[in-house]
Amino acid sequence: MTTTPPNVQPPADHDGHDHDRGLAFDLSTLLNRRRMLQLIGGAGVLALAGCASSGTSASGTTAAASGSSSGSSAGSATTASATTAGATATTGSSGGSVGVIAEETAGPFPANGSNGVNVLTESGIVRQDIRSSFGSSSGTADGVPSTVSYTVVDASTGDPVSGAAVYTWHCDRDGQYSLYSQGAADQNYLRGVQETDANGVATFTTIYPACYSGRWPHIHFEVYPSLDEATAAGTPVATSQIALPADVSTLVYASDGYEQSVQNLSQVSLTSDMVFRDGVETETPTVTGSVDQGYAIALTVGVTA
């Protein structure tokens, strides 16, 4: 399926378009289920990036966010050394309850079978490096190198959940989603599945996504009870999004290839974003690194075991 590129002025409800689950499902998810889950799980342990229009970001989102505005490519040799240090930022748990991850819409481009194409059942989807397409596709997404690490924990105890699976996906440097957007419909990059290890961690090598019109910079993910359930496109136990911090995004978008994101970021805020405007307490990542060396993005994901 081909859609208008997200960076070419898509509707403000870009991630809220009606799809197979229905618009009513998405709205209910955003306004009701999310709040209920937060009440059940208690106070969130993560808070996402601050509002671009106010020039602030959520406290504690970054450490060493400084860096050059020079461009980086997905094939940069610095990726491994740049991101490994932060990849285990949330590894393991010492116990204690954490917030249940906020439930969010998967949006119109999940490729999980709910809206057309189903990439989860394809051979090659289980992989750590998601920058390049697999199978019959051969494209590679350019951008500032990054890793995204999810630590899945039991929200009631804080103990790591091993043997679960995380499916993550996001737009490319141009704001396009593989398998859907014009210019990327023949690609399947920036999508992948990983099983959580003994510490509950699943880590992906990727690039920093763009900010497209109408949405705060974000990364989508789903948590499945097992790898088999994920690759069978079964039922996830959690569907959510990471809200990327304003200060890091500003640095990244000053580098080559992200020019459109500069304007888009200036026109959106967390309080105006249709997904994040009711709170980002559980969706805030820890981010370390720099534009030159790459970024490590880490999020603790509390689920109901």
Sequence-distant (≥ 6) Cβ neighbours of residue 32 within 8 angstroms:
none
How far apart, in whole angstroms, are the C-alpha atoms of residue 192 and residue 186?
A: 16
pLDDT at 305: 74
pLDDT at position 96, please?
Answer: 81
Q: What is the pLDDT of residue 15?
A: 55
At residue 53, what is the residue type?
S
Nearest to 221 by CA among 304, 303, 110: 110
> What pLDDT is attached to residue 58?
37
**Percentage of the residues of the chain whose pLDDT score is greater than 70:** 69
Total-model pTM: 0.76
Does the structure show a pLDDT above 50 at 184? Answer: yes
- Counting Cβ atoms within 10 Å, is residue 247 exposed (0-12), middle (13-18) or buried (19+)? buried
161 contacts: CB under 8 Å, gap ≥ 6: 152, 153, 154, 196, 200, 303, 305
**Of 305 and 194, more confident:** 194
Percent of the chain's residues with pLDDT above 90: 68
Distance (Å, whole) CA 17 – CA 55? 29
Q: What is the pLDDT of residue 175?
A: 98
Determine the Cα–Cα distance for residues 19 and 5; give it in Å rounded to an integer: 17
Cβ pair 171, 108 in contact under 8 A: no
Q: How confident is the model at residue 95 (pLDDT cuts 50, 70, 90)?
A: low
Asked whether 213 and 14 are in contact (CB, 8 A), the reply is yes
Res 3: pLDDT: 39
Structure tokens at 4: 């208008």
Least confident of 77-86, 112-121, 136-145, 292-301: 77-86
Angle at the Cα of 168 from the Cα atoms of 26 and 131, rounded to 5 degrees: 135
Distance CA 302, CA 63 (A): 23
Which comes out higher in pLDDT, residue 301 or 87?
301
Neighbours of 232 (CB within 10 A): 13
The domain locations on the chain are 14-303
Q: Which residue, chain included where needed, has tokens 């690039």? A: 207
Token digits of residue 164: 């679960």
Give φ, ψ of 128 to 5 degrees.
Answer: -90, -40
Residue-level pLDDT at 60? 37
State the average pLDDT over residues 72-89.
39
- Ranking 56-65, 96-105, 186-195 by mean pLDDT, the lowest is 56-65
**3-class SS of residue 201:** strand
- For range 184-198, the mean pLDDT: 98
**Which phi-psi region, left, alpha or beta, contains residue 200 (left: φ > 0; alpha: ψ -120 to 50)?**
left
97 pLDDT band (50/70/90 cuts)?
confident
Angle at 264 between CA 260 and CA 270, to 5 degrees: 150
Could you give the count of Cα atoms lying within 13 Å of 158 in the half-sphere of its Cβ?
Answer: 13
CATH fold for the domain made of 14-303: Protocatechuate 3,4-Dioxygenase, subunit A (2.60.130)
Q: What is the pLDDT of residue 14?
A: 52
Distance CA 279, CA 271 (A): 8
The pLDDT tens digits of the residues spanning 251-300 come to 999 999 999 999 999 999 999 999 999 999 999 999 999 999 999 999 99
Both ends of the chain: CA-CA distance in Å? Answer: 35
Q: Is the pLDDT of residue 136 over 80?
A: yes
- φ, ψ of residue 53 to 5 degrees: the values are -70, -25
pLDDT tens for each residue of 19-77: 344 444 344 444 444 444 444 344 333 333 333 333 333 333 443 334 443 333 334 43
Q: Mean pLDDT in the chain?
A: 79
Instruction: Give the model's pLDDT for residue 269.
Output: 97
